[in-house]
Amino acid sequence: MKFKMRWPQRLIQLGVLIAVLGLWYWATLPGGINQLLLPPPAPVFRNFWNLLTTSSIWPDLAVTVREWVTAFFIAAVGGCTLGYVISRSAYAVRVFDPLLAGIYSIPAILLFPLYLLFFGLGPGSKIAIGTTIAFFPVVLNTIAGLSYVDKAYITAARSMGANDAQLFWSVMLPAAFPVVLTGLRLGCIVAFLSILGGETISSLAGLGHRIVSLAENMESAQMFGNILFAVLMAFIINGVVSYVEARGRRGMQ
């Protein structure tokens, strides 16, 4: 969604931000909310700044990023391959597309206890849950993209004597690319979110693990700092992935 940014809106948004910070500060004054539940803003931001400037978070960050990249890679390769194979035949699309969409409507997080049983508390179970959740948007969008290419393009290319490879590389792929790219973007983001979720539920290391263990030790200020860090990271991922998608879309046209 695009917004026309005008001064009054900007000012009100700034006002809301200041009001939230002010309310936060006011609520944590002596006699207010228990500091274990809501620490005052100053130590939270000090912790957040420490996380950004020191290397203390790197080991956990590395674990989360490795899980995320692995899960996304498996989901992207597997999803695109399966989507391509299914989309080769209109019959297979009619058989498997509703099946995959049906499985997609089961909340995949339910499988997490099983994955903990199969793959243990380490990165394996997070990679598995991230892969499962990211796989479906990729495969469904690949099928949608490749199987709804305008038939006129295909007929035109065929009548001009294109062979299978030419048809795929010069007609099918460019036409399907934007839809496939959307699937990859969604997969990339949900993989990150579900890995954070998995780490929160049960894990040995990672960003989610850090937040949970700080919460359990009642280190509220540090926990809030880490939460801010994870939120910032999610925003950056969102921004980068949307930018790459927009670039890739333009590049193909």
Partner 1 sequence: MNGRRGPLVSPGVARIFAIILLFVIWEVGARFYADPLFLCPPSQAVVALKHIFADPKIVNAIRVTIYEVVTAFLLSVSVGMVIGLAVGLQGFTKSTILPIILLLYATPQATILPLFVLSFGIGPAAKIAFGVSHGIFPVIVTTVAGVQNLRPHLLTAARSMGASRVQVFTSIVFPHMIPSFFTGMRLGMTAVLLGVLLAELYVSTAGIGFYTRLFAESFAPPDLFALIAVLAAIAVTLNELCRTMERRFSRWHAA
The residues of the shown chain that bind partner 1, judged by CB under 8 A, are: 1, 3-6, 8-9, 12-13, 16, 36-37, 89-91, 94-96, 98-99, 102, 105-107, 109-114, 116-118, 192-193, 196-197, 200-201, 207-208, 211-212, 215-216, 223, 226-227, 230-231, 234-235, 238
Which of 20/252 has CB closer to partner 1? 20
Min dist CB 32 to partner 1, Å, is 14
Burial of 118 (0-12, 13-18, 19+ CB in 10 A): exposed
Min dist CB 106 to partner 1, Å, is 5
**What's 122's DSSP letter?**
S
Which of 81/170 has CB closer to partner 1? 81
Min dist CB 199 to partner 1, Å, is 8
Min dist CB 253 to partner 1, Å, is 27
CA distance 66 to 164: 37
Which of 48/112 has CB closer to partner 1? 112
CA distance 6 to 11: 9
Min dist CB 125 to partner 1, Å, is 10
Which of 31/102 has CB closer to partner 1? 102
CA distance 199 to 193: 10
Which of 66/177 has CB closer to partner 1? 66
Which of 10/249 has CB closer to partner 1? 10
Q: Indicate the length of the chain as a whole number.
A: 253
- Enumerate the H helices of the chain as residue ranges: 7-27, 41-53, 58-87, 90-104, 112-119, 123-147, 151-159, 164-166, 173-201, 207-216, 220-252
Which of 175/193 has CB closer to partner 1? 193
Min dist CB 251 to partner 1, Å, is 25
CA distance 186 to 244: 12
Residues 83/89, Cβ–Cβ less than 8 Å: no
Min dist CB 197 to partner 1, Å, is 4
Burial of 167 (0-12, 13-18, 19+ CB in 10 A): middle
Look at the block and give the residue holding tokens 């058989």. 95
Two tokens, residue 156: 């035109």
